[in-house]
């Protein structure tokens, strides 16, 4: 229901007004990767469930999960997992009261971006 007493007061600023900053982008990406990991988790659970259901259905699902497209999805899932984990570490540091200035916060943002890519490559090499 609209507020009839609103008058000519301006609207609050929103995403079309603010210039994107590294901290806002990395925060949004943490939320996106968290939700994307739900999809990855469902795929892994599906794969495990069909492993218990029988060889025919498992062969079909395993063929998809281990295909080129499945490898891309799982590799991106590893990237999302590392990125989300590093974002969690950053928030733990912030919760402890450290790194709240803009310069340190930006360094941690870049550390998340670069670190997640590096850790993903190390993980994929180790597999």
Q: 5-29 burial by CB neighbour count: b if 16+ within 10 A, else e?
A: eeeeeeeeeeeeeeeeebeeebeeb
91 belongs to an annotated ligand binding site: no
Helix/strand/coil for 121: helix
Which residue, chain included where needed, has tokens 């599906």? 46
- Which parts are annotated binding residues for heme? 84
- Binding site membership: which residues? 84
């Amino acid at each position: 229901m609209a507020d009839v007493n609103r008058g000519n007061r301006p609207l609050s600023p929103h995403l079309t007004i603010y210039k994107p900053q590294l901290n806002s982008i990395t925060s949004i990406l943490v939320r996106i990767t968290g939700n994307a990991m739900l999809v990855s988790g469902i795929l892994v659970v599906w794969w495990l469930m069909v492993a218990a259901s029988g060889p025919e259905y498992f062969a079909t699902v395993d063929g998809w999960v281990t295909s080129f497209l499945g490898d891309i999805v799982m590799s991106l899932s590893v990237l999302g997992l590392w990125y989300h984990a590093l974002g969690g570490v950053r928030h733990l540091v912030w919760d402890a009261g450290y790194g709240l200035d803009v310069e340190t916060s930006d360094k941690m943002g870049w550390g998340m971006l670069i670190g997640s890519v590096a850790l993903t490559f190390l993980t994929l090499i180790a597999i």
